[in-house]
Structure 1
């Protein structure tokens, strides 16, 4: 099986600076240590600190476990996905459902450190964050981007070339000077969920809430309380059906928010209640969303894909191999015939482009 066509579950994280827009308008504020606006210094530092904090916190937690526990509780390391303005994004491959809680706990500590960092520069700044899951390669897709992507002169299909490049990156990332980007409905939903985040609330998708709810915490310290603020539509998601607003409290223990919760008697949701709600939600909207799963999950906890998934996966794999073979054969045949006619290189390339366009239309259909 081609690596890029193998089922995978990924978790994504977003962290964004709250109050940066206002800070940017105060152009007269200069960092005392650098000859540049304060906001520029803060954002540059935010990028560096987010990367280093995540890497160091993850490494520290992972090293406290035995080799056996590292594999199931941590797995592969998270890595930087990309930045969008004042926002940084990270992702990690999930190979065991317990890794979701492990990395959420790590992310909570990272956000705490980032909050301290930005508030050293300006007390008015804060951090908001979110987390969501996405399945590949059926519902969502990976695409290769970057200066290192060298499309050859004999590309018969962008789909095939993209697949080959992803395979190379997944097999040996050090040999390919490019990176993978992620697109699809789950990615769009994740960004919509992120819009609900605040400095207090880490917004999480329904599938993240579900996996946390089925994960038994090792101890009280490892417990992740989940809160629920009702449901409301997310633009363009589930045809505007109400989407649950789950969140994790990021406020300090002695914060005013916590004192207000005590007055209002606002408890966290029980794990069982969250689990039952999510399962009902997945069933209700099964035409648009399915319960998260890990292909060939060794624990057999969330190993079952939705109905028809395996059949669709086999079909896509077969079609990819077939189109790859057909396009290669057609190109070779086309090249041989046209060169035999004494066609110029320019005319031959024009003919080749028409052939590629025809094949791509076939693939799209």
Structure 2
């Protein structure tokens, strides 16, 4: 079983809440309640629009909400389906910002990654947290689940940071040209790839591109790298994937086979 996880988080939320210091939650609570209530609805609408001509519309379920972040889980049956889900997510983020954040200093950033469940990554059915109507409470644990939370550190507004496993699937999709990918740097992720710097890849809607604000470009080298450069060539991205796979095999004896969606 392979699942696609999607994290959407608020940028600037700590500073925003600090503006209301001394007032408790008055002033900011409505903004956050609206996000957790309305963003999933907007995402569902964009997913429905993206798959309106398809026989199957994938289900995008909320896994958990924590802090200023909501995490969704899906089970795409093909690379094309995964690419369409990401495009719908990017549109939902942009639409939500335009409706709810136009006059407040908040933005949305996203992370997307794949997890294959089996030996290394497992699903836990936690009976004590099950709903009263009998619905199960499923949690997910494993190194590939953790990878997404490590990557989320490098998420920036108006884009998605994606894992290499997901990128590899997307590059092979027939609708891959709906997304643009930028290799913006490399950095060490705790507990990932034995300390070898991990490629930081951002995805954007190929038609809309990035929507960075001027000060975001000025203040963040990664944003500046993406804003001032064309999308990375597929050959360069595939080479980054191949390099990491070679490193794991030669230096650590680890064979990491490509994932296969819908297999």
TM-score range, shorter chain: 0.7 to 0.9
Residues 172-228 of structure 1 show CA distances to partners (whole Å, capped at 9, x for unaligned) of xx973222111100011110011111114421111111111112327xxx5211001
User: Partner of 2:36 in structure 1?
Assistant: 47
1:64 CA drift (Å) = 2.4
User: Partner of 1:134 in structure 2?
Assistant: 115
> Secondary structure of the residue that 1:94 maps to in structure 2?
coil
Larger radius of gyration: 1
User: Partner of 2:94 in structure 1?
Assistant: 112
Please state if 1:285 is matched with 2:248: yes
Residues 74-108 of structure 1 show CA distances to partners (whole Å, capped at 9, x for unaligned) of 5x311111011100000101322222111111111
1:49 CA drift (Å) = 1.5
Please state if 1:88 is matched with 2:51: no
Residues 306-364 of structure 1 show CA distances to partners (whole Å, capped at 9, x for unaligned) of xxxxxxxxxxxxxxxxxxxxxxxxxxxxxxxxxxxxxxxxxxxxxxxxxxxxxxxxxxx
How many angstroms apart in 1 are the aligned matches of 2:19 and 2:8? 23
How many angstroms apart in 2 are the aligned matches of 1:262 and 1:85? 28
Please state if 1:199 is matched with 2:157: yes
> Secondary structure of the residue that 1:285 maps to in structure 2?
helix
Contact 1:201 1:247 in 2 (8 A): yes
Equivalent residue in structure 1 for 2:47, among 49, 58, 76: 58
Unaligned regions of 5+ residues in structure 1, if any?
A: 1-7, 151-173, 298-365
> Secondary structure of the residue that 2:110 maps to in structure 1?
strand
How many angstroms apart in 1 are the aligned matches of 2:161 and 2:11? 14
User: Partner of 1:271 in structure 2?
Assistant: 234
Contact 1:214 1:275 in 2 (8 A): no
Structure 1 runs (4+) deviating above 3 angstroms are 146-150, 249-257, 260-264, 286-289
User: Partner of 1:171 in structure 2?
Assistant: none
Count of residue correspondences: 249
Q: 1:289 to 1:183 in 2, by over 3 A?
A: farther
Q: 1:116 to 1:291 in 2, by over 3 A?
A: farther
> Secondary structure of the residue that 2:154 maps to in structure 1?
coil
How many angstroms apart in 1 are the aligned matches of 2:179 and 2:261? 25
The structure with the greater share of residues assigned to strand is: 2
Residues 115-142 of structure 1 show CA distances to partners (whole Å, capped at 9, x for unaligned) of 224414x431111111111001122000
Equivalent residue in structure 1 for 2:189, among 234, 240, 258: 234
Aligned-residue CA RMSD (Å): 3.0
Contact 1:261 1:267 in 2 (8 A): no
Which runs of structure 2 are paired with 1:95-174 in the superposition (5 Å)?
95-120=77-102, 122-145=103-126, 147=128, 149=130
1:252 CA drift (Å) = 4.6
Unaligned regions of 5+ residues in structure 2, if any?
A: 218-223
TM score, norm. by length of structure 1: 0.61
Contact 1:226 1:247 in 2 (8 A): yes
The structure with the greater share of residues assigned to helix is: 1
Please state if 1:210 is matched with 2:203: no
TM score, norm. by length of structure 2: 0.83
